[in-house]
Chain A
Amino acid sequence: MIQYYFDWSVITRNAGALGEALLLGLGLALVSLAIGTVIGLAAAYARLSCRPWLSWPVWAYVEFIRCMPLLLLIFFVYFGLPEFNISWFDKTQSFILTLSLYAGAYMSEVFRAGLGSMPKQYVEAAKAIGLRPWQRQRYVVLPVMFRITLPAISNNLISLFKDTSLAAAIAVPELTFVARRINADTFRVMEVWLSVSALYLITAYTIATLLRLVERRYASIR
């Protein structure tokens, strides 16, 4: 076996670039989660609607996204849409669009379950004090549902953060892409991938821990 000599200076020299790339990945995940939440909410209400022209297309959207590999969706949006003369976006925006649609499909399932498991008694109490339909959603149903679904939302955020590594496939300069570039420049395979793995691990674990604190704060309040 050939002896491998570790040279960690490659990491310290590129610390700035790696840090920036990590922040970009986090940003991509957060923005996509935010947009995905809006899409997911709209989709969940549409799915629960009794109007077929509203619930059917949304059903198709959710199942299509859930059954396609994310990497193919990324390619489809980035390489496919310009073929139809839709090319107002750069690669980062293209990725955000894809990840948001992806998150939206998963979030809609979370919210659908949350709305479905909403105890009827809260809605009746809201009716009894005279709240109008949208007020009942805004002040009672949604706040309760967010508390019920918080663990699932946390899960999605962690998944989305890890999924940002796929943006490397279309050269979005997030962590995996930058790592691959440094690797190609320096051939310090072990140092680069071990460090990047550690960065993913620590960041994801930190997100998970923070969100668990938020969950604990709200768990008893529901």
Chain B
Amino acid sequence: MSDQPLLRAQGVRKSFGSVEVLKGIDLEVRQGQVVSLIGASGSGKTTFLRCVNLLEEHDAGDILLDGEPIGYRVENGRRRRLSETRVSAQRARIGMVFQQFNLFPHLTAEENVMLGLTKVLGKGKAEAREIAGHWLGRVGLEARRAHYPYQLSGGQQQRVAIARAVAMEPRLLLFDEVTSALDPELVAEVLGVMQQLAGSGMTMLVVSHEMLFVRDVSHHVVFMDGGRVAQAGPPAEVFDRPDSDRLRGFLGRFHGMFGGVRH
């Protein structure tokens, strides 16, 4: 493993109007790691994730992917926004799975996965179809490849969305509360796929309220509070030795899920 982290955020700030949502986030994700962001809603987790994929533009600080700044380049010591085409190229190296699945409604499951392969990566139709088939198989939906999103359950749609993101062979995969919009009985199938991906060495940055999953799968857990990183460390440390009342209070809400865990 090289010394350089795959993703490094330094002092990332972001405001919406007069409200500062991110107040200087520092964070590292190393190749092959699963890093989870936890915290109450409004703590800035999702905003940070969206900044990484340039769906939001951060106001200050740096987000470096493989050492390369995301969203701007430095020219004569000054920041210059990248063109949309360059930004698109950066986004193609980062996959994202959304809370609401966001499948393209007019395309079948297979076509959803194929679109980026053919139009962004420039692969031929036949090759793209083969890759799509492979990944739909990996998420257990080989038989649903010709189905449109409206013909699929929420869990199935989310698994297609994961296949669509992974098929692009991204350097990093972002998960934004991907089970929050699912019926409880469908959560497990999506978490199962994510666990499988983590096991295969995919680098993942995950925003989630599924504390059991976060504790079992993450290498590193980041607790965010009020736009700052309040505590970060291995799951055992964060979950078993919370060093603030805020974190104890936050974890207390999930009490009972952890069985023997004491706070």
A50 at the interface (CB under 8 A from B): no
Q: Flag the segment in B1-9, B65-73, B90-98, B201-209 that touches A.
A: B90-98
Q: Are the C-beta atoms of B88 and A221 separated by less than 8 Å?
A: no
B119 engages A131 (CB within 8 Å)? yes
Q: Which residues of B contact A127 (CB under 8 A)?
A: 53-55, 88, 91
A133 and B104 form a contact (CB under 8 A): no
**Chain A, interface residues (CB within 8 Å), range:** 20 to 34
Q: Which of B93, B119, B165, B168 contacts A139 (CB 8 A)?
A: B119
Which residues of B have CB within 8 Å of A143? 106
A128 to B167, CA, bound (A): 13
**Once bound together, how far apart are the Cα atoms of A129 and B165, in whole Å?**
7
Known: A220-B150, A221-B106, A221-B148. A128 touches B95 (CB 8 A): yes
A38 interface residue (CB < 8 Å to B): no
B196 close to A (CB within 8 Å): no
Q: Is residue A147 within 8 Å, beta carbon to beta carbon, of the partner chain?
A: yes
- Determine if B100 and A130 form an interchain contact, defined as CB atoms under 8 angstroms apart: no
**A51 contacts the other chain (Cβ, under 8 Å)?**
no
Does any Cβ of B come within 8 Å of A89's Cβ? no
Known: A130-B92, A130-B168, A220-B148. A124 touches B85 (CB 8 A): no
The interface residues of chain B lying within 8 Å CB-to-CB of A132 are 84-85, 88
CB-contacts of B47-75 with A (<8 A): 53-55
B contacts with A, residue count (CB < 8 A):
30
CA–CA, A130 and B88, complex, Å: 5
Within 8 A of B (CB), among A111-134: 121-122, 124-133
Counting CB contacts under 8 A, is A144 at the interface? yes
Q: Are A222 and B106 in contact (CB under 8 A)?
A: yes
Contact indicator B55/A122 (Cβ below 8 Å): no
Q: Which chain A residues border B55 with CB–CB below 8 Å? A: 124, 127-128
Asked if B251 CB lies within 8 Å of chain A CBs, one says no
CB distance from B131 to the nearest CB of A (A): 13
Q: Which residues of B contact A135 (CB under 8 A)?
A: 119-120
List A191-222 residues whose CB lies under 8 Å from chain B: 220-222
Q: Mark interface residues in B24-57 (1 if CB within 8 Å of A CB, else 0).
A: 0000000000000000000000000000011100
Q: B102 within 8 Å of A by Cβ?
A: yes
Check B89–A125 contact: CB distance below 8 A.
Answer: no
Residue of A nearest to B106 (CB): A143
Say how far A123's CB is from chain B's closest CB, in angstroms.
9
- The 3 tightest CB contacts between A and B, nearest first, are A130-B92, A129-B116, A125-B102
Q: List 15 A-B contacts (CB under 8 A).
A: A125-B104, A128-B53, A129-B116, A129-B168, A131-B88, A131-B116, A131-B119, A132-B85, A133-B84, A144-B105, A147-B105, A221-B148, A221-B150, A222-B105, A222-B106
